[in-house]
Chains A and B, each alone.
Chain A
Amino acid sequence: MAKRIILNLGDDGLDRRGFLECMAWAGTGLLWTINGGIAYSQMAHRATDVAPGALSFVQISDSHMGFNKEANKDVAATLQEAVAKINALPAPPLFVIHTGDISHLSKPSEFDTVDQILKSAKTSQIFYVPGEHDGLADNGKLYLERYGKGTNGLGWYSFDQKGVHFVGLVNVFDLKPGGLGLLGEEQLRWLEKDLAAYSNSTPIVLFAHIPLWSVYPQWGWGTDDSAQALSYVKRFGSVTVLNGHIHQTMQKIEGSVYFHTAASTAFPQPAPGDGPGPGPLTVPADRLRSLLGITKVNYVPGNNALAVVDSSLASGATTDAGLSDPEVRISNFTFDPASLEIPPRTKVTWINHDDQPHTVTSTQKRFDSPPLDTDDHFSFTFATPGEYAYYCKIHPRMTGKVVVK
């Protein structure tokens, strides 16, 4: 109750907002009787500290060991920095998930180098799924020999940790025209069977290389038959989908499913649709590390959802995501700062600190966030110069602008 009291004007220990909240609860007791059993749910990407007994793991992606072009001539060094960042976390992660493109050309020496670097990560285990670059030379044979022991089919598998069910999927060995990923009938049948044993309240984490949502199908940034896979997880109250492949952080929420793509540890790629096609993006050397990074995921038993936090290689070793990127606070029904000036290709993150939902909606329809609950965040990368005005759809009095110069 105490945290609901913001401004106490009387001796009763309640302010008006606190009273309204209490009244809201009292007035809806019947609803809770009807809906008993629905767990309190935090927003999927709420940034939380690691509580005792909580599960904490890290996702890294797209190491592309062996790549040595202009975009990053030393991918081994940036992977080492990612490992240093993992090792500097306040508590070591229980395990690390690598979501593919471990190597650039699937050469044994490239896999060896990654294995050597990841050995120094302070964690007990590393789980892998392949990227399309890990099967370039032999359609995944070497990858499966090294990382596929105990897996099914072309390398898919599942495991449980602290009440969370993890499923590693493979969608890179039979790419559709245009580069779209494919899970295939056999894997989908296995997935349906694998999930059947779990109750609706079990938190589910799916991870695969190519996004399981249509980020930008024209560039092959999606999976052709992901809809069927997602239909199997519809009944679960909390589903987190972690992917790589597009070398930039993006997120989307659909019902109880939270989709998230991780940054690469090697090089960035252009924003969807920005330029002729996907590929390594060369940025000024002093900006490179702000576009590479790792993703930390926390799960507190009893909470329904997982907290997903991105952290760039440029940010402080023990700090959370996006500190190198500008942040707009949503607080007291205002965007702060209301006007922000940034260079091109900068990611801006809005975080809602109000206890009302808000949206971040472009007046020119360039971006539109879902309603953001308390502590939810929304990010958008501004690729080209211009002035971008935005507002909150729920509270149109709230306006702001981003000037890209």
Chain B
Amino acid sequence: MPRQGFLGTGAPLSADVTLAIEIAMGLTLVLGMLLARRQRYRAHAWCQTAVVALNLIVIAEVMVPSFRSQVAPKIPARLARSYYTVATGHAMMGSIAELLGVYIMLAAGTKILPESLRFVRYKLWMRIALVIWWIALLLGLTTYARWYLVPKHFSSTGSRTLLGKLDSAATEISDVAGESFNLGSE
């Protein structure tokens, strides 16, 4: 039997840990972006690479098995139900963000890829990746809320507190995402 999570929702421990890690990684990517703006490129490279690599592990160990057992058997037949729609949207955006992250990591930080396959406009692609990453994170938060939050009229004090926390987090995330869009259109 899976262990209960620590956030006071209905989620198992693995989902709560994943949520905390993903939020931390999203914030770390923003920190990495700020490092680049201060021209500390080596620290920027290490920061973003660590996040992309760690996310790959989380995807393989937690997200893919969970998606395969709980969501994949229900699509496309029940994609109309919102809890499958948000989870599928999160999976799609998350896959794109991770693949793009791995590509940038290989193209900008190594010489593994032949020159013809490497991009030239680093800034643009990195900003696009960051925006997609945050959209995936927002959808991930929505997925968590849709799957694990106990209805308000039933929830314990702990759950109510978490609802407030998630609302605040969503507001902060929207602000950061807005900032990223602005940066991308400079």
Is A225 at the interface (CB under 8 A from chain B)?
no
Contact among A21, A374, A391, A395 with B11 in the assembled complex (CB-CB below 8 Å): A395
Would you list which residues of chain A between 19 and 36 have a CB under 8 Å from chain B? 20-21, 23-25, 27-28, 31, 35
B152 within 8 A of A: yes
The one of A6, A15, A394 in contact with B70, judged by C-beta atoms closer than 8 angstroms, is: A394
Nearest-neighbor residue (CB-CB) of A354 within chain B: B151
With an 8 A cutoff between CB atoms, is A371 at the interface?
yes
The answer to whether A332 has its CB under 8 Å from any CB of chain B is: yes
Would you list which residues of chain B between 133 and 167 have a CB under 8 Å from chain A?
Answer: 138-139, 142, 145-154, 163, 167
- B88 at interface (Cβ–Cβ under 8 A)? yes
Whether a CB of chain B sits under 8 angstroms from the CB of A48 is no
Which of B70, B92, B152 is the one whose CB lies under 8 Å from A31?
B92
Decide if A24 touches B150 in the complex (CB within 8 Å).
Answer: no
Are A24 and B73 in contact (CB-based, < 8 A)? no
In the bound complex, CA of A392 to CA of B151 (Å): 17
What distance in Å separates the Cβ of B164 from its nearest Cβ neighbour in chain A?
10
B42 close to A (CB within 8 Å) = no
Residue of A25, A256, A355, A391 touching B77 (CB-CB under 8 A)? A256
Pairwise interchain contact A397-B70, C-beta atoms closer than 8 A: no
Which residues from chain B contact A396 at a C-beta distance below 8 Å?
1-4, 12
Q: Choose one: B1, B85, B151, B152; the contact of A24 (CB below 8 Å).
A: B85
Q: How far is the CA of A14 from the CA of B79 in the complex (A)?
A: 23
Chain B residues near A43: list those with CB within 8 A.
78
Contact A31 B4 (CB under 8 A): no
Establish whether residues B1 and A391, one from each chain, have CB atoms under 8 Å apart when the complex forms: yes
Q: Judge whether A25 and B82 touch: CB under 8 Å.
A: yes
B112 at the interface (CB under 8 A from A): no
How many A residues have CB within 8 A of the partner chain?
Answer: 46
Main secondary structure of the interface of A (DSSP, over half): loop
CB of A10 within 8 Å of the partner chain:
no
Contacts of A21 in B (CB 8 A): 82, 146
B104 at the interface (CB under 8 A from A): no
- Whether the pair A31, B146 counts as a contact (CB closer than 8 A) is no
User: Which residues on the A side are within 8 Å of B92 (C-beta)?
Assistant: 31
Whether A41 and B150, one on each chain, are in contact in the complex, defined by CB atoms closer than 8 angstroms, is no
A38 CB-CB contact with B under 8 Å: yes
B74 at the interface (CB under 8 A from A): yes
The reply to whether B154 and A35 form a contact with Cβ atoms under 8 Å apart is no
- Cβ of A17 and Cβ of B154 under 8 Å apart? no
A 291-305 binary contact with B (CB < 8 Å = 1; else 0): 000000000000011
Q: Mark A154-178, 1 if CB is under 8 A from B, else 0.
A: 0000000000000000000000000
Which residues from B are CB-within-8-Å of A253?
73
Q: Do B154 and A370 have beta carbons less than 8 Å apart? A: no
Q: For the complex, give the distance between the alpha carbons of A332 and B138 in Å.
A: 25
- Please report the C-alpha to C-alpha distance between residue A42 and residue B5 in the assembled complex, in whole angstroms: 31
Q: Is A357 within 8 A of B2, CB to CB?
A: no
* Contact assessment for A16 and B152 in the assembled complex, using a CB-CB cutoff below 8 Å: yes
Counting CB contacts under 8 A, is A398 at the interface? yes
A143 at the interface (CB under 8 A from B): no
Taking a contact as CB atoms under 8 Å apart, the answer to whether B10 and A333 are in contact is yes
- Report whether A398 and B76 are in contact in the complex, using a CB–CB cutoff of 8 Å: no
Give the contacting residue for A371; candidates B74, B77, B86; CB below 8 A.
B74
User: CB of A325 within 8 A of chain B?
Assistant: no
Known: A25-B82, A357-B147, A396-B4. 9 other contacts (CB 8 A): A20-B146, A24-B85, A24-B89, A41-B78, A43-B78, A333-B10, A356-B146, A371-B73, A394-B147
Chain A contact residues, CB within 8 Å of chain B: 6-7, 15-17, 20-21, 23-25, 27-28, 31, 35, 38-41, 43, 237-238, 253, 255-256, 304-305, 332-334, 354-357, 363, 370-371, 373-374, 391-398
List 16 contacting pairs A-B, 8 Å CB cutoff, sorted by A: A6-B152, A7-B153, A16-B152, A24-B85, A27-B139, A28-B85, A28-B88, A31-B92, A35-B76, A39-B80, A40-B80, A304-B77, A333-B151, A371-B70, A395-B12, A396-B2
